[in-house]
Amino acid sequence: MRMDVMTNVPLKQYTTMKLGGAARYMVAVDSVSDVVTLYRNARKENLPVFVLGGGSNVITRDETFEGIVLLNKIKGFEVVADNDDTTDIKIGAGEVWDEVVERAVGLGLQGIEAMSGIPGTAGAAPVQNVGAYGQEIADTLVSLEAYDSKTDSIVTIPADECDFSYRNSIFRDSQKGRYCILNITLRLNKAEPRPPYYASLQKYIEENDIREVNLSVIRVAVLNIRSEKLPDPAEIPSAGSFFKNTLIEKWQLEQLQKEYSDVPNYAMSGGRYKVPTGWLIDKAGLKGFASHGMRVYEKNALVLVNESATGYGDLAAIREQIIQTVYDKFGIKIEQEPLELSL
């Protein structure tokens, strides 16, 4: 390969959990042509490709990844359509997501301000349909451009073909590994936020006696709430929320409410309900639980932090302990949120 290729790269240096083995090859790309060239060379050499953004929602195994890790560094922030009510912005996949949110808020554009502070890159946002505090990427995505490794072509995928659901999309499900997202286009509103606000946001507004709510206020509120609940991965290795919040059927919720009348829940589409998995883990007596050098974060049971773990096996061990304990207590199977880099 003619590109600047790094070899035998320790992946713990590129992921916020600071665990895992090495990648046989790693290449940083900052243009569409680089992406196309990399995939074509990989195909000739029969090497798998894994796309990595900020490494904040990825778990790597201890075995060497015998392929190419593509570091997506494609930049761009361009207004591509504008009218009295909305603005469409095309964003390079390698842009830091929180910087995108900050710029949008600075432009007075509403739609992603509650997703302030989410680590990672813009290109990773559609993969798991990232969201927080009542907003998710599916709400604002118009379309995205991607390299399609199956057809060796650049394609435009409209939002309604991404098959978005709670923390999921075709990119981590039915078409996992097929596409490398190059840019995303968001449609944002020229409007200030309006109530009702997400419960924890509303609580923050009331507790701080905020009389006038605007986009900047929401952004600051979210950043402050996150800083109280989530560790800074630069100081404490973690992958953010390690478990997805749990979707359950109405009968399961009713069973929970028999013992816990105050169980927090949110009605979702299809007659299901979202229950905070952190609440389930806490009620199972696992907040602060430590094992194999990993710990359930005391401030947020949804988070696993790496205190002294040395490998993927340590992470897998505590993950299975937590999943089994929650299942034994509630009959509910919780799911890991981060993707795993593996062959």
Q: How far is CA 231 from CA 194, 236, 238, 239, in A?
A: 29, 6, 8, 10
Q: Per DSSP, which regions of 84-148 are E strands?
A: 86-92, 131-132, 135-136, 141-148
Cα(42)–Cα(25) distance, rounded to whole angstroms? 10
Looking at 177-252, which runs of residues are DSSP E strands?
179-189, 238-241, 246-248
**Residues forming beta bridges with residue 78, ordered by sequence position:** 90
Give catalytic status of residue 102 as yes or no: no
- Is-contact 274 266, C-beta < 8 A? yes
The rounded Cα 26 to chain-centroid distance in angstroms is: 22
Catalytic residue among 167, 187, 272, 295: 167
Q: Which of 56, 238, 241, 319 is catalytic?
A: 241
Question: What is the C-alpha separation between 122 and 125, in angstroms, rounded?
Answer: 5
Pairing state of beta strands 65-72 and 22-29? Answer: parallel
Determine the Cα–Cα distance for residues 251 and 83; give it in Å rounded to an integer. 46
Residue 3 has a CB neighbour count (10 Å cut-off) of 13
Residue 167 appears among annotated catalytic residues: yes
Candidates 61, 144, 126, 84; CA nearest to 340 is 61
116 is catalytic: no
Which residue shows structure tokens 């993950």?
Answer: 319
175-184 in b/e burial notation, b at 16+ Cβ within 10 A? beeebbbbbb
Supply the residues annotated as catalytic.
167, 241, 337
